[in-house]
């Protein structure tokens, strides 16, 4: 313990605290996310300043800074919370140990910027999107096990279904593709957005898929039929990010219009608009108790929102350039 750099000791304590709380929880189906204790867990952020930062949101402090050789476009925690992945304009995906701050592996194989990374729910497989391809990785071996081709333009977002059998990808070609991971085949292509699809997210029971687009809309899809069941309109500019609450009753969307909107999915109505960022809001992520939301912005800050009051609870400052991705 004493050999660890001081800045990583608080990370080790937070990881230890959240891992020690897992054993007392009973699993239900569909599987609920493992509780990390309100504001106890760590927030990760990726920035155009080429860094990944890890934050203790309760203290409002950055506890570690990790690096790429280019803009960091995406960060994602493994679902067992033991590793952090980041994708960068340096064309690599890096896997980090959040306790020691060590880079465990660097995954190379993309020919262009890596826009998106996402862990399978078993935390054994990683997906990444770059130019017009999606790559599936075995992080333990540091190897690409599959390359999914079919999009005709840049892949901006990837998301796993709850049982890890399917992957969704959103692209600048205006489509969403759903992939069968067993066969590596595209099983359906969802069409309906008028411009680039920048973000995709599965509901936690995999019965619905949400997408956000440069056409300023959010769409809700039935992945079984490929039909759009709802279009959410209200943003004044591009929608960069969408994220489901863990109880699946609400959806959050982040926009170039500098706001975050919270939608009631039973009524398809916007029930709250979070204002406070001074520039585009690139990325959003929910706390696992669905009481708070984190947003990353081009204004170089990360904000934590209390969804009970719709007020900004705290602002994390430390990045030198745009915060392009956040993960809680």
Is 321 part of any domain? no
The whole-number pLDDT of residue 224 equals 93
Is 73 part of any domain? yes
Q: What is the mean pLDDT of residues 35-40?
A: 39
| 3-state class (DSSP) for residue 19 | helix
Q: What count of Cα atoms within 13 Å lies in the side-chain half-sphere of residue 197?
A: 31
Instruction: Give the separation between CA 327 and CA 120, rounded to whole angstroms.
Output: 15
Number of domains comprising the chain: 1
> pTM to 2 decimals?
0.88
DSSP for 56-96, please give it: ETTTTEEEEEEE-SS-EEEEEE-TTSS-EEEEETTSEEEEE
Residue 48 has pLDDT above 80, yes or no: yes
Is 200 part of any domain? no
Is 66 part of any domain? yes
| 3-state class (DSSP) for residue 241 | strand
Domain with residue 98: its CATH number is 2.40.128
In degrees rounded to 5, what are phi and psi of residue 27? -80, 135
- pLDDT (tens digit, 9 = 90+) per residue, 61-90? 999 999 999 999 999 999 999 999 999 999
The whole-number pLDDT of residue 28 equals 32
- pLDDT (tens digit, 9 = 90+) per residue, 167-221? 999 999 999 999 999 999 999 999 999 999 999 999 999 999 999 999 999 999 9
Is 8 part of any domain? yes
Is 48 part of any domain? yes
Is 72 part of any domain? yes
The whole-number pLDDT of residue 311 equals 97
The whole-number pLDDT of residue 15 equals 45
| C-alpha distances out from residue 185 to 86, 127, 139, 181, 263, Å | 26, 15, 22, 7, 33
| C-alpha distances out from residue 152 to 149, 175, 221, Å | 9, 9, 21
- pLDDT (tens digit, 9 = 90+) per residue, 120-168? 999 999 999 999 999 999 999 999 999 999 999 999 999 999 989 999 9
User: Do residues 184 and 158 lie in contact, with contact meaning Cβ atoms separated by under 8 Å?
Assistant: no
Question: Lowest-pLDDT range, 20-34, 169-183, 247-261?
Answer: 20-34
User: 20 falls in which pLDDT band (50, 70, 90)?
Assistant: very low
Residue, of 12 and 278, whose pLDDT is higher: 278
Is 99 part of any domain? yes
Query: What's the domain range around 103?
Result: 1-21+41-118
The whole-number pLDDT of residue 41 equals 84
Query: Which long-range contacts (C-beta less than 8 Å, at least 24 apart) are formed by 37-43?
Result: 38/287, 38/289, 38/291, 38/292, 39/287, 39/292, 39/304, 40/14, 41/14, 41/81, 41/287, 41/288, 41/328, 42/11, 42/14, 42/15, 42/98, 43/294, 43/302, 43/304, 43/316, 43/326, 43/327, 43/328
Q: Percentages helix, strand, coil for the chain, rounded to the nearest 5?
A: 5, 50, 45
- Nearest CA to 70 among 114, 110, 128, 134? 114
Q: How does the average pLDDT of the chain come out, rounded?
A: 90
Instruction: Give the separation between CA 180 and CA 187, rounded to whole angstroms.
Output: 6
Instruction: Give the separation between CA 189 and CA 126, rounded to whole angstroms.
Output: 22
Beta-bridged to residue 315, according to DSSP, are: 303
């Amino acid at each position: 313990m004493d050999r660890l750099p001081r800045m990583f000791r608080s990370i080790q304590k937070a990881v230890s605290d959240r891992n020690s709380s897992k054993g007392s929880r009973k699993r239900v189906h569909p599987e609920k996310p493992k509780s990390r204790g309100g504001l106890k867990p760590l927030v990760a952020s990726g920035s155009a300043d080429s860094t990944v930062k890890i934050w203790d949101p309760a203290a409002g402090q950055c506890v570690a800074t990790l690096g790429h050789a280019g803009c960091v476009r995406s960060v994602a925690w493994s679902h067992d919370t033991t590793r952090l992945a980041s994708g960068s304009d340096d064309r690599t995906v890096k896997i980090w140990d959040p306790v020691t701050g060590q880079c465990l592996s660097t995954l190379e194989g993309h020919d262009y910027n890596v826009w998106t990374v996402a862990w399978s729910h078993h935390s054994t497989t990683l997906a990444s999107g770059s130019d017009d391809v999606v790559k599936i990785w075995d992080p333990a071996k540091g190897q690409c096990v599959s390359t999914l081709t079919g999009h005709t333009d840049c892949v901006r977002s990837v998301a796993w279904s709850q049982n890890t059998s399917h992957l969704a990808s959103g692209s600048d070609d205006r489509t969403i593709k759903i992939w069968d991971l067993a066969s590596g085949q595209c099983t359906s292509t969802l069409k309906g957005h008028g411009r680039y699809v920048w973000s995709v997210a599965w509901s936690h029971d995999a019965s619905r898929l949400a997408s956000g687009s440069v056409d300023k809309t959010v769409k809700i899809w039935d992945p079984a039929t490929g039909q759009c069941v709802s279009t959410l309109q209200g943003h004044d500019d591009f929608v960069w990010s969408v994220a489901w609450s863990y109880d699946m009753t609400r959806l959050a969307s982040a926009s170039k219009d500098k706001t975050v909107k919270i939608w009631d999915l039973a009524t398809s109505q916007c029930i709250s608009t979070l204002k406070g960022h001074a520039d585009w809001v690139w990325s959003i992520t929910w706390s696992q108790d669905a009481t708070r939301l984190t947003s990353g912005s081009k204004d170089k800050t990360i904000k934590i929102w209390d969804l009970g009051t719709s007020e900004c609870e705290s602002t994390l400052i430390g990045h030198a350039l745009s915060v392009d991705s956040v993960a809680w």
